[in-house]
Amino acid sequence: MAQQNLFVGSLAYATTDDTLKAHFEQIGEVTSARVITDRDSGRSKGFGFVEMANDADNQKAIDQLDGKELDGRAISVGLARPKEDRPKRDFGGGDRGGSGGGSFRQRSW
């Protein structure tokens, strides 16, 4: 069975991969810890993922760290959903042509 990641939400913008890993190492061995950042600005998006070495530590981390403080913020910890379980985001308007609204009005003269 594939290793289950933990989703960590409500992270402070100052939280780094290293501080996230250190926080979870009080529970057990951490395989990886990653704070998700904005690709343009490099700033934290306020959430991340942690992979513990075994599933027993996943549940222990949820029980002991959910709602606890890290870098001045109470974090939320839960099991991450697999990518295929997330709903597809449809922003509509696949046609980028000139049809559609907008404030520019064509003159008829």
Packing angle, helices 55-65 and 17-24, rounded to 10: 100
Of 3, 1, 5, 2, give the one whose Cα is nearest residue 77. 5
DSSP 8-state secondary structure symbol assigned to residue 2? P
Is 15 contained in some domain? yes
Is 90 contained in some domain? no
32 sits in which H/E element: strand 30-37
Residue 32 domain boundaries? 6-81
Is 50 contained in some domain? yes
Is 60 contained in some domain? yes
Which residues of the chain fall short of a pLDDT of 70?
A: 1-2, 85-86, 91-106, 109
> For position 47, what pLDDT does the model report?
97
